[in-house]
């Protein structure tokens, strides 16, 4: 207990110091994941698949606890496969079914975490496959931003949400690439909020009004009379949660923030489980921690848990004070600006693939030199053949994700490719031993 408290104090000293040093960057970074959160949350709330007030309150609490516990900008975002199945009508979109699907996933992840299955999965999944999952998730965000948010827009109308505004946001993104302290997400979030208010007034919808949140118990529908839709939604979500929201996010945290303690897959898994075994009883949206959200918040300036604590406080206040009355305002959020934020997040996530053959965690080793008995880290050199093999495994994983829109298929394709190369290397006689720097 004493060591845990000391660790918590160190984390929150870092949170406080980082926020004091760069408050605008942390606030801007906290808004980086809105491109994932808003479209799915709004769509589910509009069709009454979740309770918007409960979602804001509980996701805000989870943001605060996440920032306090981990000290990194770890996001709280929707479970995409569950949300997609409910929105598209592939499964029953009733609130009881959606929250039950989140509880099924939470229970499965909790069992995997406490039994050590998640830890064993990390050692069994090669780094090129993990990088492929991250690259695939990043490219999926980019493609989704273009196809569903930006491409349907017109060039000139409506006046506050068109391709010209998307072009303006994109050019601003390019112009500020080398200005890391420019609060890009904060600036465009404020602009989008003004546009949303104007659209609500013009369309004669009601502005958000004061509405105290009252928790309402929601009875989950775990098993349907015919085909148990919640269970099928959970089965589709579980590979995505395990691979992208736990294993990949742990690896990404290590890549982006090497100077900070990296959360273990077990701790992230328990966090995901507890979130979905608590708030869903009140109609809150099933949530997880995603690699894309972490990349987005990092891209827009977040470097500590202070960013997500700030976002959590904002969500909590909005949920407690306004709740369901925010639906009309959020529905008018301009897709042009949202799409460019999603694109930027996808680029940040996809960029982690560049370290596959230079700096990846499986290429570092501990060694003791003859001159010094102390243990030092050295980087293993790769042959051209090894580089090509690792690159091919990563691209095979990414190709499976993009071709079938399914992380599990991409994972299996990458593992089969990796296995084929391993079998081939075992069957061939060694020609040149590996060299070490």
pLDDT for position 429: 56
Q: State the pLDDT at residue 381.
A: 82
pLDDT in tens, 224-271: 656 778 888 888 788 878 888 898 888 889 888 988 888 999 999 999
Q: How confident is the model at residue 43 (pLDDT cuts 50, 70, 90)?
A: confident
C-alpha distances out from residue 197 to 53, 207, 299, 332, Å: 20, 8, 27, 8
pTM, 2 dp: 0.80
| pLDDT at res. 208 | 81
Q: Provide the pLDDT for residue 399.
A: 94
| Model confidence pLDDT, tens digit, residues 265-323 | 999 999 999 999 999 999 999 999 988 889 889 988 999 999 999 999 999 999 999 98
Tell the burial category of 406 from Cβ atoms under 10 Å away from its Cβ (0-12, 13-18, 19+).
middle
Q: How does residue 119 score in pLDDT terms, banded at 50, 70 and 90?
A: confident
* More confidently predicted of 297 and 181: 297
| The pLDDT of residue 417 | 95
What is the tens place of the pLDDT at every residue in 191-220? 998 999 999 888 877 778 888 898 999 999
More confident residue, 135 or 181: 135
Q: Is the pLDDT of residue 430 over 60?
A: no
Is beta strand 287-288 parallel, antiparallel or unpaired with respect to 375-379?
unpaired
Rounded Cα–Cα distance for residues 141 and 143 (Å): 6
**Mean pLDDT, range 71-95, rounded to an integer:** 83
**Is 71 within 8 Å of 115 (Cβ atoms)?**
no
* Range in 25-29, 176-180, 275-279, 321-325 with the lowest mean pLDDT: 176-180
Query: How many Å apart are CA 248 and CA 252, to the nearest integer?
Result: 6
Residue 370 pLDDT > 70: no
Mean pLDDT check: name the lowest of 44-58, 80-94, 372-386.
372-386
425's enclosing H/E stretch is helix 407-427
**Above pLDDT 90, what percent of the chain?**
40
| pLDDT tier, 369 (very low <50, low <70, confident <90, very high otherwise) | very low
List of E strands, 285-363: 287-288
109 token code pair: 């992840």
Query: What are the residues whose beta carbons fall under 8 Å from the beta carbon of 9, sequence distance 6 or more?
Result: none
Q: What is the pLDDT of residue 195?
A: 93
* Candidate ranges 82-91, 102-111, 195-204, 229-238; pick with highest mean pLDDT: 102-111
């Amino acid at each position: 207990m004493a060591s845990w408290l000391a660790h918590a104090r160190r984390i929150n000293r870092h949170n406080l110091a980082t926020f004091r040093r760069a408050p605008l960057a942390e606030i801007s970074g906290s808004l980086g994941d809105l491109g994932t959160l808003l479209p799915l949350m709004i769509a589910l709330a509009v069709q009454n698949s979740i309770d918007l007030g409960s979602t804001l309150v509980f996701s805000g609490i989870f943001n605060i606890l996440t920032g306090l516990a981990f000290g990194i900008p770890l996001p709280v975002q929707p479970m995409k496969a569950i949300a997609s199945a409910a929105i598209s009508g592939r499964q029953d979109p009733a609130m009881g079914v959606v929250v039950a699907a989140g509880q099924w996933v939470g229970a499965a992840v909790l069992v995997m975490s406490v039994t050590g299955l998640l830890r064993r999965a990390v050692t069994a999944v090669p780094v090129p496959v993990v990088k492929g999952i991250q690259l695939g998730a990043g490219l999926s965000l980019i493609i989704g931003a273009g196809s569903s948010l930006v491409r349907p827009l017109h060039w000139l109308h409506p006046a506050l949400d068109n391709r010209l505004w998307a072009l303006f946001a994109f050019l601003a993104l390019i112009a500020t690439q080398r200005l890391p302290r420019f609060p890009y997400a904060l600036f465009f979030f404020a602009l989008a909020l003004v546009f949303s208010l104007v659209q609500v007034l013009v369309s004669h919808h009601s502005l958000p009004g004061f509405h105290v949140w009252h928790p309402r118990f929601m009875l989950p529908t775990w098993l349907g009379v015919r085909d148990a839709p919640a269970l099928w939604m959970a089965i589709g979500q579980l590979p995505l949660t395990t691979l992208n929201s736990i294993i990949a996010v742990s690896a990404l945290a290590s890549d982006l923030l090497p100077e900070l303690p990296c959360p273990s897959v077990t701790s992230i898994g328990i966090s995901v489980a507890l979130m979905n075994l608590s708030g869903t009883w009140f109609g809150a949206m099933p949530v997880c921690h995603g690699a894309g959200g972490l990349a987005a918040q990092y891209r827009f300036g977040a470097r500590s848990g202070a960013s997500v604590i700030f976002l959590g406080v904002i969500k909590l206040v909005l949920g407690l004070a306004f709740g369901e009355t925010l639906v009309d305002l959020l529905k008018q959020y301009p897709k042009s600006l949202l799409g460019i934020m999603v694109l930027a997040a996808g680029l940040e996530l996809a960029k982690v693939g560049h370290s596959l053959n230079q700096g990846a965690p499986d290429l570092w080793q501990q060694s003791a030199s003859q001159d010094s008995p102390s243990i030092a880290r050295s980087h293993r050199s790769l042959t051209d053949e090894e580089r090509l093999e690792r690159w091919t495994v990563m691209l095979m994983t990414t190709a499976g994700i993009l071709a079938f829109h399914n992380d599990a298929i991409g994972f299996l394709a990458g593992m089969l490719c990796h296995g084929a190369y391993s079998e081939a290397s075992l069957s061939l006689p060694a020609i040149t031993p590996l060299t070490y720097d």
